[in-house]
Structure 1
Amino acid sequence: MEATDAARALLAAIVADHGPVLLILSGGCCDGTAPMCYPEGEFLLAPDDLRIGAVDGAAVYLPAGLAPLWQGGLTLDAVPGRGGGVFSLDNGREAHFVARSAVCLKP
């Protein structure tokens, strides 16, 4: 699990405002694998959610079924603009989280 400086800065700002958080790549219908950020203890993890690492103390999870897709490694990044995750704590900020993987890069 890696993170860019931009992701670490966004995460630090969110933690300063909300306290400890977790991140999950849910694979859901609306935001797909966009990393979603929630207050620690307020998001109910599924029984098959796997902890794949942590970024500056924030645990990162994904469903077990998605694990093979991210075997090449995962980098948490943040990019300018508002994300679509209305429930994620990065919503309403001038940057949002994205997941990057060498497996998903175009040649």
Structure 2
Amino acid sequence: MPAPNRALVTEPAAQLLRRLADQHGALMFHQSGGCCDGSSPMCYPAGDFMVGDRDVLLAVLDVGDGVPVWISGPQFDAWKHTQLVIDVVPGRGGGFSLEAPEGMRFLSRGRAFTDEENRALEAIAPITGADYERGARPPANGTHVVADAADACPVPLRST
């Protein structure tokens, strides 16, 4: 089994990213673990957020020229068994993410990887900020865009 993508983006979020890229140029995400906006994915112009040597690259979303998705090393240790799905909803977040003036906010959804997916991911070393500086990139393994969050994170049916 090929390793699954560690991060995906919904088509509505990808559409917003394309508009933001037209306005701001190349983009990047950092999955926040901060206080004010909880654990929202924060979207910045590429290079406006300093990626640390121990931050981990989850994926480069195949939107526009490619949008890297970063997470801090300690937060990755807690989330490494979870596929991050970046979605968008109406509203305003409390951070400095680029979508705020659009009246939208990015949010993270997640799906736990299966045991088989976890085994496949264990065979691939995570790419850190230091690795990225040396030219390491994640393997290309299909699109990162899903039509809807439910396609990647199905909502369990409630029994009545």
In which range does the TM-score fall when normalised by the shorter chain?
Answer: 0.7 to 0.9
Q: Which runs of 5+ in 1 are unaligned?
A: none
Pairing 1:102–2:111 present: yes
Pairing 1:10–2:20 present: no
Identify, as 1 or 2, the structure richer in strand.
1
> What is the match of residue 34 of structure 1?
40
Q: In 1, distance between residues paired with 2:60 and 2:97? A: 17
Question: How many equivalent residue pairs?
Answer: 106
Q: In 1, distance between residues paired with 2:88 and 2:80? A: 18
Shift of 1:27: 0.4
> What is the match of residue 92 of structure 2?
82
Check conservation: 1:50, 1:62, Cα contact below 8 A: yes
Q: In 1, distance between residues paired with 2:41 and 2:99? A: 10
Q: Percent identity?
A: 36
Pairwise CA RMSD of aligned residues? 1.9
Larger radius of gyration: 2
Q: In 2, distance between residues paired with 1:45 and 1:4? A: 24
Q: Report the AA paired with residue 73 of structure 1.
A: Q
Shift of 1:70: 4.5
Report the secondary structure of 1:102's partner residue.
strand
**Post-superposition CA distance 1:42-100 (Å, at most 9, x none):** 21112221110022100000011111324221111001112221x21111112110010
**Post-superposition CA distance 1:18-45 (Å, at most 9, x none):** 0001000120121121010111122111
Q: TM-score, normalised by structure 1?
A: 0.88
